[in-house]
């Protein structure tokens, strides 16, 4: 038979602080009127208000992990002054 374990908000903050001692932890944090996910240190999580960790975030956790844009290709082009129809493009 399986059993379920539930953590109180205070226990959750302590557990996240222990994780942050060894790993990068993204946790909800109040920034102005918004609640967003940001990396937090063990000290920040130990001092955090446990109720703050349970607030609904304004931005999804996915936005903190995955970039909105990513550079796939960079290139530079040089146009020749003597011949405007000539263009040299190189990948950088």
Question: pLDDT tens-digit profile of 7-64?
Answer: 888 888 889 999 999 999 999 888 889 889 999 999 998 888 888 888 888 888 888 8
pLDDT at 48: 84
* Cβ 43 vs Cβ 14: under 8 Å: no
pLDDT in tens, 64-82: 888 788 889 999 999 888 8
Q: Is residue 1 very low, low, confident or very high in pLDDT (cuts 50, 70, 90)?
A: low
Query: Where does 42-81 have alpha helices with state H?
Result: 42-47, 61-65
Using DSSP, state whether 11 is helix, strand or coil: helix
């Amino acid at each position: 038979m399986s059993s379920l374990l539930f953590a109180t908000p205070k226990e959750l903050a302590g557990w996240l602080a222990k994780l942050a001692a060894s790993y990068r932890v993204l946790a909800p944090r109040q920034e102005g009127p918004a609640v967003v996910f940001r990396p937090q240190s063990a000290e920040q999580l130990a001092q955090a208000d446990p109720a703050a960790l349970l607030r609904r975030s304004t931005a999804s956790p996915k936005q903190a992990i995955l970039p909105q844009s990513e550079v796939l290709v960079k290139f530079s082009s040089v146009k020749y002054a003597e011949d405007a129809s000539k263009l040299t493009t190189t990948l950088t």
